[in-house]
Amino acid sequence: MSASISIGQSLLRRGVLLHLNPTSLSFTQQVRTLRRRTEASSMSYDKQLAAAKKAASVAARLCQKVQKALLQSDVQSKSDKSPVTVADYGSQALISFILQKEFPSMPFSLVAEEDSGDLRKEESRETLHRIMELVNETLASDGTIDTSPLSEEDVLVAIDKGISEGGSQGQHWVLDPIDGTKGFLRGDQYAIALALLDEGKVVLGVLACPNLPLASIADNDQTISEDKVGCLFSAQVGAGTYMQSLDGSLTTKVQVSSTENPEDASVFESYEAAHSSHDLSSSIARKLGVKAPPVRIDSQAKYGALSRGDGAIYLRFPRKGYREKIWDHAAGYIVVAEAGGVAADAAGNSLDFSRGRYLDLDTGIVVTNQKLMPALLKAVQESINERASSL
């Protein structure tokens, strides 16, 4: 008798199957789904986490090199007019390539931000060539990845692996090759954000933040000192969140701030007011009695900084109609959750990464520790209602 039937029978005996909708799935489908979930909840993702850390660290080196030498010609505009650089493409190609190489016999599904559409155009020939060179230089200088040089077509193919729709079944990598492209272009914060979904749940996440100081940024001092920057955050479900320097030294376990007093809770938000309403967050901070001025930085480095207690609250309120993408939050979400924090939408619902490339949300995203969340959600609702009645 097959394993699925025996697991199915034991689940049936425990009455678990009764919780599923009997009309939408066949018995075999229900058994298969439950078996995957049972396996997922008891699995260790050590190998995937090690591969994710390696891939993100290698990509971070490529990004650092480009940020140092940033030229106007290295920036393109996507059809949605958002900026994208050779580093965004190069990082995506590298990570896609490395993950596939690490797990050659497993099905590979990647939900990633970039695609090769614009790169395949005639006017992008030089850019594509430059990306291929950067990818090959980075692989060669790493020295641990056994491969012959990639061709331009290999690079395009690796980038285009990112078209997966994700979803609630099976495993999917989720990648933002550079989160905070605007920060990257300004020479400020950005992150390489990689997560793994298993049966719709985020089970691991890695954030490489090449410009984030190893010391706290709580005091809002964003001057970047050359020798003390570059953090790698990593988290696995049930196993906590760790931070190490990007050059590989010293790993420490991190925890979110435990403050219960909103007066001590400084607020992180986007540097770009177009990405998140600064007015709304300042109204919320006022209601809570937050004393410190907001800390405005780009990218999921906000989640990283929050996971080690540099601040206690992250607020994000995009304009009406904006749809958040899963790669902008998946890695950051588990980095904060495993450090003891919670992320929710403005109505207090937990974030659902199982619905494809987008997150469906009520209004915005709020992140804090367990104790502060109720007061924060109350202030959020009051501020949103006030804004609505003043329009």
Contact window for ligand A3P (CB under 6 A) among 155-163, 222-230, 317-325, 357-365: 317-325
Neighbours of 133 (CB within 10 A): 15
Closest distance to ligand A3P from the beta carbon of 82 (Å): 5
Separation CA 293–CA 306 (nearest Å) = 16
Among 317, 368, 321, smallest CA distance to 343 is for 368
334 CB burial (10 A radius; 0-12, 13-18, 19+): buried
**CB-based closest residue to ligand A3P:** 270
How far is the CA of 390 from the CAs of 9, 41, 274, 287, 387, in angstroms?
58, 47, 20, 17, 5
Q: Give the pair of three-digit tokens for residue 14.
A: 């425990």
Does 322 help bind ligand A3P (rule: CB under 6 A)? yes
Site string for Mg ion, 326-365 (x = CB under 5 A): --x-------------------------------------
Q: By CB under 6 A, name the one of 73, 77, 82, 151 that touches ligand A3P.
A: 82
Helix, strand, or coil (residue 385) = helix
Helix, strand, or coil (residue 352) = coil
Question: Which lies closer to Mg ion via its Cβ, residue 179 or residue 188?
Answer: 179
User: Known catalytic residue: 88?
Assistant: yes
Does 319 help bind ligand A3P (rule: CB under 6 A)? yes
Question: Is the CB of residue 97 less than 8 Å from the CB of residue 136?
Answer: no
How far is the CA of 267 from the CAs of 305, 329, 351, in angstroms?
11, 17, 20
Question: Which lies closer to ligand A3P via its Cβ, residue 40 or residue 212?
Answer: 212
User: Known catalytic residue: 138?
Assistant: no
Closest distance to Mg ion from the beta carbon of 156 (Å): 18
Question: Which lies closer to ligand A3P via its Cβ, residue 8 or residue 166?
Answer: 166
Does 350 help bind ligand A3P (rule: CB under 6 A)? no
Question: Which lies closer to Mg ion via its Cβ, residue 330 or residue 376?
Answer: 330
Does 274 help bind ligand A3P (rule: CB under 6 A)? yes
Question: Which lies closer to ligand A3P via its Cβ, residue 236 or residue 276?
Answer: 276
Segments of 214-351 assigned E as strands: 229-236, 241-245, 251-254, 267-269, 295-296, 313-316, 341-345
Applying CB under 5 A, the site for Mg ion has a residue count of 6
Closest distance to Mg ion from the beta carbon of 208 (Å): 13
Separation CA 179–CA 194 (nearest Å) = 10
Amino acid at 122: E
Does 118 help bind ligand A3P (rule: CB under 6 A)? no
The set of catalytic residues is 88, 181
Which residues are near ligand A3P by CB under 6 A? 82, 113, 176, 178-181, 183, 270, 272, 274-275, 298-299, 318-319, 322, 325, 328
